[in-house]
Amino acid sequence: MNSALNIPLLDLNEFIGDDKTLKGNFVDKLGKAYEEIGFIALKNHGLTDEMVDKIYEQSRLFFSLPDNIKKKYEIEGLAGQRGYTSFGVEHSKGSKVGDLKEFWHFGQEVLDGDPIKSEYPENVHVDELPEFFTTGIQVYKALEETGKQVLRAIAIYLGLEELYFDNRIKNGNSILRPIHYGPILDHPKNAVRAGEHEDINLITLLMGASSDGLEILNKSGVWVAVTALPEHIVINVGDMLERLTNNKLRSTTHRVVNPPQDKWHEARYSIPFFLHPRSEVSLACLPQCIDADHPKLYDDKTAGEFLNERLEEIGLLKK
């Protein structure tokens, strides 16, 4: 991990183990990192090497399918929330230039009779690759569990009850997004693989990408490259958590830049997990995060209202 950022390397076993001192240290390091830079790196996160290799293999197989087959899975009216989204459809908030990427969305599988199931589109299955779905959902569930543990640590840091987020994210609107940044064939003008942005959700969990390109904007306004170490995933704060904590925890601006021209022929794959709460969950600023020096910065909104606003802003949901 790039030392210029001082991103702490944390071990989830220290939080979920029985040693209260280690658990307290984990909470403090995580909380301070999320106040200062918005990112941590985490090992013992529950994803096996086999799971990571399998989801990358299946993603590469899907994105290598002919365009006419992939297009079968780009379903009108879903706002990109399930299945396939083709190159250039999504753009950064405030930009009119489409990102140089195509992606797939796996969403929540509600299996316990929760009526929230009616809010979610069904997941899309690829006839040509039956293992794509089973592998994607396996990874989805593993990262959802990891995210739940990280949110428990955040809750403690904020002075909330440890399980504060558990019911708020149960059957939440989380998304696993395999992304393919294709080879750059022509000079890309103003387009980059992913324009500068902050994530919409509570936290994002990112396993190591297939190549470099991720950069985050530090406090001095300088872009710094971030490369995950082996055995670690990178976890960053999203806008929903920043809003909930009245800017106490930072949603850091990041982007995926184009490679040097001699590497334009190389594709890049990345698979972030965007952890969302249930749509009815309030993002009203927590009272613990408001005082005379930190007045309330945001109007009250639900997670569902905030998500729909942002989906319109990035071009996935039509007004």
CATH of the domain at 20: 2.60.120.330
pLDDT band at 126; cut points 50, 70, 90 = very high
- Kindly state whether residue 298 falls inside one of the protein's structural domains: yes
Q: Is 77 exposed, middle or buried (0-12, 13-18, 19+ CB in 10 A)?
A: exposed
Whether the CB-CB separation of 275 and 204 falls below 8 Å is answered with yes
User: What is the total count of domains within the chain?
Assistant: 1
Mean pLDDT over each residue of the chain, to the nearest integer: 87
- Kindly state whether residue 221 falls inside one of the protein's structural domains: yes
- Kindly state whether residue 117 falls inside one of the protein's structural domains: yes
pTM above 0.75, yes or no: yes
d(CA 150, CA 273): 13
The identity of residue 304, as a single letter, is G
CA distances 313 to 200, 261, 301, 317, Å, are 11, 31, 16, 8
CA distances 143 to 166, 235, 252, 285, 297, Å, are 14, 11, 21, 26, 31
- Kindly state whether residue 318 falls inside one of the protein's structural domains: no
Query: What's the pLDDT score for residue 228?
Result: 60
Q: Provide the residue range defining the domain that includes 220.
A: 3-313
- Kindly state whether residue 319 falls inside one of the protein's structural domains: no
Average pLDDT over residues 106-113: 96
Beta bridge partners, 42, equal 10, 233
- Kindly state whether residue 202 falls inside one of the protein's structural domains: yes
- The answer to whether residue 71 scores a pLDDT higher than 70 is yes
Query: What's the pLDDT score for residue 7?
Result: 78
- The answer to whether residue 90 scores a pLDDT higher than 60 is no
The identity of residue 216, as a single letter, is I
- Kindly state whether residue 246 falls inside one of the protein's structural domains: yes
CA torsion sign, 64 to 67 to 70 to 74? positive
| Edge-to-edge strands, sheet with 9-11 | 9-11, 39-43, 232-237, 203-206, 272-275, 175-176
pLDDT band at 6; cut points 50, 70, 90 = low
